[in-house]
Amino acid sequence: MNHSTLSVEPPKNQKDRLRARWLAPTFLSALMFLTGCGITNISTGQGQDTYAYALTVKVSATDNIAALESQYAGKVQVFHPDAGFAVLGVNSAPVPSAAVTAFEANTGRLELPESKSNVVPRVVGSESWSTWGSSWTTWGGSWTTWGSAWSTWSSGSSTTTLPATPGENRYLWNLTRLPSAQAVAKNFGAGAKIAVVDSGIDVTHPAFAGRLAPASEWYDFVDFDLNPQEVSGGNGYGHGTFISSLILQVAPKATILPIRVLKPDGSGSETAVISGIDWAIQKGAQIINLSLGATTDNAALEAEIDYATSRGVYVVVSAGNNGSTSLLTYPAQRAKTAPNEKYLISVGSVASTSLLSIFSNKSSALEITAPGELIFGALPGNKGAYGSGTSFAAPQISGLLALLMMDTASVNRSNLQKYLLDSAAQFAGGYSMVSMAYAMQQLPDFTFKKALMVVGSTTLNVGDAAVKYNLEHMGYAVSLKTGAGAVAADATAKDLILISSTVTPTDVNTKFRSVSAPVIVWESALFDDLGMVDLQANTGAYSLENNINVSGTHPLTAGLYNTTYASYTSADTISWGKPAGTAIKIATLASNSSLATIFAYDKGTQMVGMTAPGRRVALMLGDNGASKLDWAGGLLLNAAITWAVSGN
C-alpha cells in the first residue's frame, strides 16, 4: 500500500506513541477468526459446544423442530422456516440429501490473530488481557467522571450540558470529528439497542451504569445462563468489555445488549456465535457488533447474517488483522456481495496518522475505516487500558450508526450505510476514513446549528472563508454580519458567535459582552471588551510567528500532547492576551510563555468584572491565519468550536 501522497504528520511525540504500539504489553485486537457457525436461542439450555458439527438444512413451513432433531440426531440451534433454513448441532455426518446445504466443523477452528508470529510482533508472556490490564489498578480520574456523567445525564439537548469524552482518546476522536458530531446530535443514540456478540462484558463496570439492556435479555452461550459476565483466564478476556465501552464513547445514550459467545481464551463454537446473533435479533437489536471473523466463508454464519440483514438489522464486522492486501476475514469479505449488503458493513483500522494500519486487512470489500491503534477502553474489574486492532475500529462505526439512526426519521434508517459511506474521506491506497460530523449532515432531516460570524466585510478574505467552510463542514449554518452592522440582538437563537480579527474593534466594542450564546473571538483588542482580560494593554498580536505551546488535558487541547506545535504552515500573526487566573489557559506563545494564545472561560465562571454569561474562547488566529492552519491548528480550531457549543 502506498500512502506517500498523504501529508498528515503527527508530532514527534505522536510518532513515538505509534512506535510504542509494537512494544505495548498486549497489542491485542482480539479479532476472533472463525469458520462455519450455527445459532439460536431455541436451545439455550443445551451446550452447543458438545456438538462436533454445524449442519445447515433447508426447511419449510411444514417442518417442525422435533422432527428435524429426530431425523438428524442433533439439536436445532436456529429455526427459520420463513427464511427457508435451520442450523443444528450434530455429532455425525447426515445422509446426503437435497435438504442438506452445509456440514461444517463446529469446534476447534477459532484462533487469535496475535497468536501468529507472522502477523504482528508479540511480547512473549504478555498476550493476555488479564495480564495486560493488571497494571491498571483504578479506572482513572477522567474515566470515572465520564462513566458517571453519561449514566446520569438526562438532557436531550446538545448545548453546554454535554460531558467531555475521555481524554485518553481525544486526539483520535478529533481525527474522526466525533466531538463535532456529538455537538450537532440531538439524541446521542438514545433508543438504539446494540448487541455486542463477543466474550461477554463486565456488567458491573462504571462505564456501563444505566446503559445496559434489562438483565432478562442477556445471555451467555458459553455457560448457558443469563449472566454474560466476562470470565478471566485467557487472551480473549476483556474483549467484549473493551468494545462495549468504545460504542458508548461514540453513542453515549445507546443501549448495550451483552451476549457472550466466546471463552476467556477467545475460542468459541460456531453454533454459539450464530445462536448469539439469533438471540440479538429476537431481543430487538437494531445493530449487531461482530468484532470477529473467519479466514474462510461458511454457510451457517452466512445464512444467519443474511437473515439478520433481511430484517433490517445492521451487522458491523471487523476486517481482520492478517495484514492482507487482497482479502478480509468473513463475513467482512461479503460486505459488498451479500443479498442485503447495505446492512452489512466492513470496518478496517487506521493509525493516528490516518494511514491504514499495518495489520489491517484490505480488499475491494473494505468499506470504511476508523482509528484502531492504541485506543483506550474499559477492562473488567473497573480497569482501562489501550488496545489495537480492527476489533476496536468496528464498534466506533456501530456507535455512529446509533447516532445516525436515532437522529433521523424511521423512513431513512434503511439508508444509513449510504449516509455513512458518502461522508467518508477518501485516501490514497483505496480506503475511506469515517468523518462522523459529516455523516450526521447526510441525514435528509439533519438540522444545522446556527452560527453568526462577525467580520470586517461580508466579502470574506481567505482566512474568514476558511473558518466559514470549516463551520459548515461541522454542521453549522453560517450568517455573516459586519462589525459596524452587527447588534447584540443578532446573537438571538444562535448556537455560536465568532468574531474575526478582520473587524474594526471600535465597530464591535462591547456589543456581544453580555450575550448568553458562546463566543469565540480572535480579535485581541476585543478581549477586554468581552471581560476576558482586564486591560487592552494586556492584549496584542505577534507577527511572523507560528509556534505555540499546548498544555493540559482539557477538551480545548484537542488531545494534543503537551509540547510546542506549529499552529500555521508558515509564520503569521498570532493573537494573545493575559487572562484572569480563573481562565482555562490552553496554549501560550512559544517565544513568551506569559502570553496566552488560547484561553477560555466556562459559563458561570468569574471573568474580569463579570460572570461569564456563556462560554468564551480566545483563539490565536490572525486575519488570514485560518487559511494556512497546520494540522495541529486545525484540530485546535475545531476543538474550540465544539467545546464552546457542547463542552466536548
Report residue 617's pLDDT band, with 50, 70 and 90 as the boundaries: very high
The answer, yes or no, to whether residue 116 has pLDDT greater than 70, is no
222 in the same domain as 94: no
pLDDT in tens, 206-256: 889 999 999 999 999 999 999 999 999 887 889 999 999 999 999 999 999
Strand residue runs (E) in 522-618: 539-545, 547-550, 563-566, 572-577, 584-589, 592-601, 616-618
The answer to whether residue 405 is domain-embedded is yes
| Number of compact structural domains in the chain | 3
Residue ending a domain, among 410, 441, 472, is: 441
The answer, yes or no, to whether residue 131 has pLDDT greater than 60, is no
Q: Which amino acid is at 346?
A: S
CATH number of the domain within which 204 lies = 3.40.50.200
The answer to whether residue 181 is domain-embedded is yes
Query: What angle, rounded to 10 degrees, do the helices at 462-474 and 631-646 form?
Result: 60
Quick check: 125 and 107 in contact, CB under 8 A?
no
Residues of the chain with pLDDT > 70, as a percent, come to: 84
How many residues belong to the chain? 648
197 in the same domain as 302: yes
- The β-bridge relationship of strands 383-387 and 375-379 is antiparallel
What integer pLDDT is reported at residue 420 of this predicted model? 97
What integer pLDDT is reported at residue 114 of this predicted model? 31
Q: Rounded distance, CA 286 to CA 584, Å? A: 41
- The residue ranking higher by pLDDT, 600 or 155, is 600
497 in the same domain as 482: yes
230 in the same domain as 101: no
- The residue ranking higher by pLDDT, 527 or 33, is 527
- Report, as an integer, the average pLDDT of 328-354: 95
Residue 381 backbone dihedrals phi, psi, to 5 degrees: 80, 30
239 in the same domain as 277: yes
The answer to whether residue 343 is domain-embedded is yes
The answer to whether residue 1 is domain-embedded is no
579 in the same domain as 458: yes
105-143 burial, b if ≥16 CB within 10 A, otherwise e? Answer: ebbebbebbbeeeebbebeeeebbbbebbeebeebbebb
What integer pLDDT is reported at residue 365 of this predicted model? 96
- Report, as an integer, the average pLDDT of 373-377: 92
Computed from CA positions of residues 110, 115, 118, 119, in that sequence, does the dihedral angle turn out positive or negative? positive
473: annotated active-site residue: no
The answer to whether residue 113 is domain-embedded is no
The answer, yes or no, to whether residue 588 has pLDDT greater than 90, is yes
239: annotated active-site residue: yes
Considering the candidates 43, 158, 239, 275, report the single residue annotated as catalytic: 239
122 in the same domain as 57: no
The answer, yes or no, to whether residue 628 has pLDDT greater than 90, is yes
Considering the candidates 269, 391, 423, 432, report the single residue annotated as catalytic: 391
What integer pLDDT is reported at residue 386 of this predicted model? 87
Q: Which domain holds residue 51?
A: 34-105
- Report, as an integer, the average pLDDT of 331-338: 95
The answer to whether residue 310 is domain-embedded is yes
What integer pLDDT is reported at residue 109 of this predicted model? 56
538 in the same domain as 613: yes
528: annotated active-site residue: no
Q: What is the DSSP string of 69-105?
A: HHHHTEEEEEEETTTTEEEEEESSPPPP-TTEEEEEE
pLDDT in tens, 488-536: 999 999 999 999 999 999 999 999 999 999 999 999 999 999 999 999 9
Q: Rounded distance, CA 201 to CA 213, Å? A: 12
Peptide bond into 331 cis (omega under 30): yes
Q: Which amino acid is at 616?
A: R
419 in the same domain as 539: no
Residue ending a domain, among 385, 412, 441, is: 441
The answer to whether residue 2 is domain-embedded is no
Residue ending a domain, among 441, 460, 488, is: 441
- Report, as an integer, the average pLDDT of 408-428: 95
Query: What angle, rounded to 10 degrees, do the helices at 239-250 and 394-406 form?
Result: 40
CATH number of the domain within which 558 lies = 3.40.50.880
Q: What is the pTM of this model?
A: 0.88
- Report, as an integer, the average pLDDT of 93-97: 95
pLDDT in tens, 44-54: 444 456 799 99
What integer pLDDT is reported at residue 69 of this predicted model? 96
The answer, yes or no, to whether residue 2 has pLDDT greater than 90, is no
Cell of residue 557, nine digits: 487541547
Report residue 436's pLDDT band, with 50, 70 and 90 as the boundaries: very high
138 in the same domain as 75: no
The answer, yes or no, to whether residue 481 has pLDDT greater than 80, is yes
What count of other Cβ atoms lies within 10 Å of the Cβ of residue 358? 15
The answer to whether residue 50 is domain-embedded is yes
379 in the same domain as 300: yes
- Report, as an integer, the average pLDDT of 428-449: 94
Considering the candidates 80, 180, 198, 501, report the single residue annotated as catalytic: 198
* Of 12-21, 95-104, 226-235, 266-275, highest mean pLDDT: 95-104
53 in the same domain as 23: no
